[in-house]
Amino acid sequence: MQLAKHWRLKGPRYRLAAVRHPETGAICFPPPADSAEWDEVALSGQGVVESFAAVGKAADGFVDGSIMALIRLAEGPVITAQLTDLEYADVTIGLQVEMVTRKLRDLGPDGLIVYGYKFRPLLSQV
């Protein structure tokens, strides 16, 4: 079930916990493995769709037809994430999105429910 892996990733996944280099100020997400000395910083969750694609045949545990996107976060990093609360026809490059914490995977009746970030259109613009 890879419980340790999911546990290690909970901060970045649940709330976009990133790290800032104490000297250069560079923000890195997800935090690199050797960032124990960096400062934790919470990202705003605001971003813009840079590119996107529908997943025709998803990997086990994911849903066919889900929409993956490259999101440029307001603080700079570009991440890959699933879009939610919209249809494929409604996605455009440049769409402003915000982070929500949703179910990513359900590992079955004897498994973990994996939560993490997805992005949706700004609620104020729906």
Binding site for another protein (CB under 8 A): 10-11, 14-15, 17, 42, 63, 84-85, 100-104, 113, 115, 118, 123-124, 126
Pairwise CA distance, residues 103 & 105, whole Å: 6
Q: How far is the CB of 48 from another protein (least distance, A)?
A: 20
The rounded distance, in Å, linking the Cα atoms of 100 and 83 is 10
Residue among 49 and 116 whose Cβ is closer to another protein: 116
Residue 76 to residue 94: CA distance in whole angstroms: 15
Q: What is the CA radius of gyration of the chain?
A: 15
| Choice between 24 and 112, CB closer to another protein | 112
In the bound state with another protein, the residue whose beta carbon lies nearer, of 93 and 122, is: 122
Rounded to a whole number of angstroms, the minimum distance from the CB of residue 84 to another protein is 6
We find the least distance from the C-beta atom of residue 20 to another protein, in angstroms, to be 15
Nearer to another protein, 10 or 21 (CB): 10
Question: Residue 72 CB, nearest distance to another protein (Å)?
Answer: 22
